[in-house]
Structure 1
Amino acid sequence: VDPEEKKKYCLTCRVKAAHFDVEWGVEDDSRLLLGIYEHGYGNWELIKTDPELKLTDKLQGFPAPGRRKSTTAGML
């Protein structure tokens, strides 16, 4: 995948509003999907610390201690 094209990726479909403790929008959903594509589902630490995704601050504390790393239940 071309790195420049990857940076431009953004969901074009309608998405359901997220009700997290942080501001979260379609750009964040798009970045999260890119992180899953790049690092693999469940690799939250790699996704969280990837500076290109710009999700570090929003994913602080996720996954919560004691939770399985491969689940998004209770995210944020």
Structure 2
Amino acid sequence: MEDDLDVKFDLRMCRRTFGQRYLDSDVDIESVSVLMGHASTKTTEGFYSRKRLNKAIDNARNSWLSSGGQ
């Protein structure tokens, strides 16, 4: 496919995208870690997937609102 499209693919970038997209879709880190074949969620957290700022803000806001804003 690379030859047909004259584009080089870095499969490691696909792994990062895979993990990030699942985390962005609120799949728990344990499940993403298993799907990626990691022995520990620390590998998933440290090397492949980061919570995006807007998701962190949404989670904090939802937590605050669900507790009655207190």
Is the shorter-chain TM-score for this pair beyond 0.5, marking a shared fold?
Answer: no
Give the structure with the larger helix fraction: 2
Normalising by structure 1, we get a TM-score of 0.29
**Structure with larger Rg:** 2
